[in-house]
Amino acid sequence: MYGSVSIIDIENSAKMLDEDPVLLARFEEKIQNGEKIEPHDWMPKEYRRQLIRMIEQHAHSEIIGALPEGTWITRAPGFKRKMALMAKVQDESGHAQLLYNAAETLGKTREEMINDLINGKSKYSNVFNYPAKTWADTAVIAWLIDASAIINQVTNSKGSYGPYCRALERICMEESFHLRYGYDNVVTLATGTPKQREMVQEALNRWWQPIMHFFGPPDKASVHSEILMRWKVKMASNDDMRQQFFNQYVPKILELGLTIPDKGLVKNKETGKWDFSDPDWNEFFEVIKGNGPCNKERLAVRRMAEEQGEWVRKALKKQVSYTEIGRAHV
């Protein structure tokens, strides 16, 4: 699971071009030829910086993204649902490890990334700063938020940085199972008792705006740069990915007899695409600033996990040092 890395910070666009022109030309030619950039290859400083931001935000989102659903493991209806949800949460944590590994190849340590997260310096996807109030919330998250994540990840798996693309290919395969799990849960509720149907409709109503926010602000308000698209750091615009989600999933939602809480939602007869109302972008930016319903709670849980797990990390480091000493005496 993952939220769009839509907030690409460009401190100074001129800085991108402050590089050796010969090396920069070779780098860009390699990307245009469809070749992957690997950790040992020369790359512009800004390319490295933006990739670190992008990949570590993705990794943080996998970890934090497991929290809303994780609170329902002990309350899931039935043993099979508990096991499936537990496996999903474990998968998300595993995805984070793959992504932290990929980010480390760019020169930033995992410890630095975690510290930046718990200190509020690094971001994660806004969508995970909302609570999962009922079991139906977990179904909507697993289906529609994971569907959004797959659109984003499949797109970016065609990017230019090899370690990130390879991690995304594996993650996408597992996310497709998460999506099917979520869809099955939504179908069960939507075709169940009146109370179950009401519950899933209320969950959809709550999550629709965060889902709209998922891909980031509209292109006209986004600060991403043309050069990052050219370098294939980002492979599609926020608006394009959001539109793809609407075209793929609005019909599926309506087929279940559910109502989408958008009075402006209508299929455009000329384009064949879905037109929709803008969400509240002021809320989006407020959540980024740390003022969402669960921002403080999410970081507090992550900070507690880091503090309580410190003894394990220390023990592992000692074990590694003992092993190295033993090898030195063989």
Q: Confirm whether 329 is domain-assigned.
A: no
* Coil, strand or helix at 275: strand
CATH number assigned to the domain comprising residue 172: 1.20.1260.10
pLDDT for 17 beyond 60: no
**What's the pTM value of the predicted model, to 2 decimals?**
0.89
pLDDT at 10: 44
Q: Confirm whether 239 is domain-assigned.
A: yes
Condensed to tens digits (0 to 9), the pLDDT of residues 61-76 reads 999 999 999 999 999 9
pLDDT at 8: 44
Which tokens hold the place of 93?
């944590």
Contact 175, 1 (CB under 8 A): yes
Enclosing domain of residue 17: 13-292
Q: Confirm whether 325 is domain-assigned.
A: no
Q: Confirm whether 136 is domain-assigned.
A: yes
The contacts found for 96-99 with CB under 8 angstroms, 24 or more apart, are 96/59, 96/60, 96/62, 96/63, 98/167, 98/170, 98/171, 99/55, 99/56, 99/58, 99/59, 99/62, 99/164, 99/167, 99/171
Which tokens hold the place of 167?
């991690």
Condensed to tens digits (0 to 9), the pLDDT of residues 199-244 reads 999 999 999 999 999 999 888 876 656 777 889 988 999 999 999 9
Q: Confirm whether 255 is domain-assigned.
A: yes
> For all residues of the chain together, what is the average pLDDT?
90
- pLDDT-derived band at 251 (thresholds 50, 70, 90) equals very high
Q: Confirm whether 126 is domain-assigned.
A: yes
> Which position has the token pair 């455009």?
268
Q: Confirm whether 302 is domain-assigned.
A: no
Q: Confirm whether 7 is domain-assigned.
A: no
Q: How many domains does the chain have?
A: 1
> Which position has the token pair 């998460």?
178
